[in-house]
Amino acid sequence: MLVYFIRRLTQSVVVVFLMAAIVFLGVYAIGNPIDVLINPEADQAERAAAIARLGLDKPLWEQFGIFLGNALQGDLGTSFVHGTSALTLILDRFPATFELAVAAMLMAILVGIPLGVIAGLYPDRAVGRIIMGGSILGFSLPTFWVGLMLIMVFAVFLGWLPAAGRGDTVDLAGVPVSFLTWDGLSHLFLPALNLALFKTSLVIRLARAGTREVMLQDYIKFARAKGLTKRRVVGVHVMKNIMIPVVTVLGLELGSVIAFAVVTETVFAWPGIGKLLIDSIGNLDRPVVVAYLMLTVFLFIVINFAVDVLYSILDPRVRLSDTKG
């Protein structure tokens, strides 16, 4: 386990470094942030002064060197646009996105797994077909359009839920969260639903395929022969065995939901990090983009590691020590 962990860590450091270099060069190649940031009325002298203030007058290798030196000390740079630490900007917004991602994931699991199991148990009945048909819709409707339709129906026509924003938050251990107030919950519901739609369809399909496969296994036949209730067979023996693929995919999806909930955040004006990323790319705010993507790489590494650990808990046949070789 320890060897595995150390090897994983070394790989991760290399990945993070390469990522930083690629993103740094990539954003540099797009253009000069001053061209976007400066007021057009500024004259040539002010332009030169602003370029110098942001350190953009130095050669590229020197800028990258300074960035690396600071990054090693935990300073990922100061945003060109906001003038504050890039890391603080991202971390300030992280709770909003994390809350949204977790809410969406919970919806996907709580709705997707039961529906998927039902569809797997009764693949030829109407209920199974309807569930599968619905999941195709969930897959194929574009998030942007669904988001706008949700706003139109629930906010504009029915007036039940607010159209955009995050609503009231309360501090939970110093972190602002929405799900503890009614107003916050009502703001959270639509974007989470929007984000959950695709994931739910994914979970339904995984759970259905898993169920159909597991139902044919000998141990299920044995369990039924032993006279166990159907509820216990499905609830314990089937459930446990379909979870491996679901956990793998959901682990990866959680990472991507956190990192790239951009569309949903934009449609619902949700103050998360996805929106920050898009704005920062538009403004060529290199420190924020680089810091963001480095954090994303880090996040994926952590999630993958957590998934590996979960495997060994769910399935005794998988042991992390096996991957030593």
Site residues for other proteins per CB under 8 A: 30-47, 49-50, 53-54, 78, 80-84, 89, 92-93, 96, 142, 144-145, 147-149, 151-152, 155-157, 159, 162-166, 266-269, 271-272, 275-276, 279, 282-284
Minimum distance, C-beta of residue 288 to other proteins, in the bound complex (Å): 12
Q: Which residues of 124-146 are buried (b: 16+ CB within 10 A; e: fewer)?
A: eeeebeebbeebeebeeeebeeb
Q: Strand pairing partners for 176?
A: 171
SS3 content of the chain, % helix, strand, coil (to 5): 75, 0, 20
Minimum distance, C-beta of residue 194 to other proteins, in the bound complex (Å): 12
Judged by beta carbon, residue 36 or residue 239, the one nearer other proteins is 36
Minimum distance, C-beta of residue 144 to other proteins, in the bound complex (Å): 6
Which H or E run includes 175? strand 175-177
Minimum distance, C-beta of residue 271 to other proteins, in the bound complex (Å): 4
Judged by beta carbon, residue 159 or residue 325, the one nearer other proteins is 159
Judged by beta carbon, residue 97 or residue 241, the one nearer other proteins is 97
Minimum distance, C-beta of residue 267 to other proteins, in the bound complex (Å): 5
Distance CA 323, CA 3 (A): 10
Find, among 265, 281, 286, the residue nearest to 96 by Cα. 265
Judged by beta carbon, residue 58 or residue 240, the one nearer other proteins is 58
Distance CA 33, CA 53 (A): 12
**How far out from the chain centre does Cα 107 lie?**
14
Judged by beta carbon, residue 40 or residue 316, the one nearer other proteins is 40
Minimum distance, C-beta of residue 80 to other proteins, in the bound complex (Å): 6
- Exposed (0-12), middle (13-18) or buried (19+): which is 321, by Cβ within 10 Å? exposed
Judged by beta carbon, residue 164 or residue 244, the one nearer other proteins is 164
